[in-house]
Amino acid sequence: MEGRTGVGYETSISDYKGFIGLDVLEMRNFNGSVYIRVPFEMSDLTWMSDDTRVFLHIRYDDGFVAYLNGREVARANAPLGQPSWDSLARASHADSAASQFEAFDITDHQGVWVQGENVLAIHGLNVSLSSSDLLITPKIVASQRVQGVLPAEVLTYTQSIPLTQSAHLKARAFYQGEWSALTEAHYSMGRPPAPGDLALTEIHYHPTEPQQGEFVEILNMAQDTLVLDGVTLSDGLSFVFPPQSLLEPGQRVVVAQDPQSLRAAYPGILVYGPFVNHTQLSNGGERLSLLNASGDLLLGLKYGDEAPWPDSADGKGYSLVLRDPAAPGALNDPALWTASHALGGSPGVMDVNETRSTVSSDVDADGIPALGEAFHGTSDAEPQKVEEVFVIRSVIQSNPEPSIAWVMDVLHDPGATEILMDIEVSVDLKTWQSAGISFEKTSEVMADEGRVWLRHTLPPMQTLPSRQFFRLKYFHPR
């Protein structure tokens, strides 16, 4: 095939379509490699000197190996050694990064240039056969180093530039009417993860749509921004986080078999993928490991598909959800896991059947902990008034004798099957005891959004303490 660069294909709405001059969509589901030759003429080599710098600028999704007149000059996300005709990229390259040119210094290879026709050959690599897109757009840029004393009007910066957040910086120099080659660098305001910083909180291993719905979810449990560059999912599936992968405190990232479909179904969540090396999650259970960039173990677990593991997560549309990411215990313990509240799971957000046993679990500071929000079917990101979920009133009765009864209405999401509630009572706000045995559930009344009001009634009493206080306690069954 012949055409103009860039070379690639795109199956969805994307900026890539504006970059593609030669469409190679027919390679999808057939081969993950594409060979590209870009011939060009060099009529004069006198411009090359010790002061010349040469860069290969390239947009790439997902990897490549570049050769200039037969010599390798640059590579990214390529397998070790010489790639074969059907090799795949070692890791994915995010669309946002692939849409920008990345510079590779090839100055040390000036000896391979020839006067006349030269050939830039590129082995383009996709991360999987079924990947939704591919892009290779190269260009070669040369510049001269500025020699001698700088003119007086040129400013020399001697102080560092303070950064308050992660940033991608680009810089170039302007001299005698010409701009130098663009140089750029990414600075991450974070640190690499350590054991205990990350939790694997959700596994959708056996969706109703084979492979397409598979994903795992990872939560940042630390108080710092974590740099995930080079962090690897291994054993059962294979994925390497690309450069510039950051995870904020409390943020969740999803690694999906089909990231494009997941982004469309759940807009706004952080999604990477797809899995590489033809891997997928096992329907029968397997071991999963998370390694840091040096290959050291951050966390590991082995999930299963037989009792006591939740049956509804095995091909019935639900995912496995870690009950409490902050709770101690080995992740291999089925008691720590439950099925998701909704079909398809809850990628990128806290599941109704999950809670975090931490002091900061009341994110919206409305006095209702995250576990209570899940029980009521409300959001811990939106403050609620207590009377919107818990109403208590006294009822005076005169027949057969004067007495007072307490009636309590509690808002409940019937889907929160893994969360229980108890009513506690106190006369001094210091000592609390359960009043659940005394309170009788008398009715259910439909509310909005599929929720119900649970009505509890305390049998009439002729005498009451001078004052009583009530509160709700939420907990997981053990």
Whether residue 125 contacts residue 133, with contact meaning beta carbons closer than 8 Å, is answered with: no
The pLDDT, as a whole number, for residue 466 is: 65
Q: Higher confidence at residue 252 or residue 142? A: 252
Question: For the chain, what is the domain count?
Answer: 3
Is residue 409 located within the same domain as residue 303?
no
Over the stretch 256-270, which tens digit does the pLDDT of each residue have?
A: 999 988 988 888 899
Question: b or e along 270-283 (b: 16 or more beta carbons within 10 Å of the residue's beta carbon)?
Answer: bbbbbbbeebebbe
Q: Which domain holds residue 342?
A: 198-354
Structure tokens, 227: 């740099």
Is residue 349 located within the same domain as residue 396?
no
Query: Within a domain: residue 12?
Result: yes
Query: Within a domain: residue 303?
Result: yes
Contacts (Cβ under 8 Å, ≥6 apart) of 414: 450, 451, 452
Give helix then strand counts, H and E, for the chain.
3, 32
Query: Within a domain: residue 181?
Result: no
pLDDT tier for residue 193 given thresholds of 50, 70 and 90: very high
Contacts (Cβ under 8 Å, ≥6 apart) of 105: 53, 54, 55
Is residue 395 located within the same domain as residue 350?
no
Is residue 327 located within the same domain as residue 407?
no
Structure tokens, 441: 């559930």
Assign residue 258 the CATH number of its domain. Answer: 2.60.40.1260
Is residue 305 located within the same domain as residue 404?
no
Question: b or e along 31-43 (b: 16 or more beta carbons within 10 Å of the residue's beta carbon)?
Answer: ebbbebebeeeee
The pLDDT, as a whole number, for residue 458 is: 77
Is residue 317 located within the same domain as residue 402?
no
Is residue 101 located within the same domain as residue 213?
no
Query: Within a domain: residue 167?
Result: no
Contacts (Cβ under 8 Å, ≥6 apart) of 183: 103, 170, 171, 172
Query: Within a domain: residue 128?
Result: yes
Residue among 39, 2, 35, 40 at smallest CA distance from 21: 2
The pLDDT, as a whole number, for residue 357 is: 45
The pLDDT, as a whole number, for residue 461 is: 63
Residue among 182, 72, 177 at smallest CA distance from 120: 72
Is residue 33 located within the same domain as residue 121?
yes
User: Residue 145 and residue 108: Cα distance in Å, rounded?
Assistant: 15
Whether residue 339 contacts residue 323, with contact meaning beta carbons closer than 8 Å, is answered with: no
The pLDDT, as a whole number, for residue 13 is: 63
Is residue 463 located within the same domain as residue 415?
yes
pLDDT at residue 314 above 80? yes
- Beta partners for residue 135, in sequence order: 8, 61
Is residue 350 located within the same domain as residue 202?
yes
Is residue 136 located within the same domain as residue 252?
no
Collapsed DSSP state (helix, strand, coil) of residue 291: strand
Over the stretch 224-273, which tens digit does the pLDDT of each residue have?
A: 899 999 999 988 889 999 988 999 988 999 999 999 889 888 888 999 99
Assign residue 20 the CATH number of its domain. Answer: 2.60.120
Is residue 311 located within the same domain as residue 266?
yes
Query: Within a domain: residue 76?
Result: yes
The pLDDT, as a whole number, for residue 436 is: 63
Query: Within a domain: residue 171?
Result: no
The pLDDT, as a whole number, for residue 359 is: 31
Whether residue 437 contacts residue 456, with contact meaning beta carbons closer than 8 Å, is answered with: no
Mean pLDDT, the chain, whole residue set: 83
Over the stretch 379-419, which tens digit does the pLDDT of each residue have?
A: 766 788 888 999 888 777 666 676 777 888 999 988 777 67
**How much is the average pLDDT of 354-368?**
61
Query: Within a domain: residue 188?
Result: no
Whether residue 236 contacts residue 228, with contact meaning beta carbons closer than 8 Å, is answered with: no
pLDDT at residue 124 above 60? yes
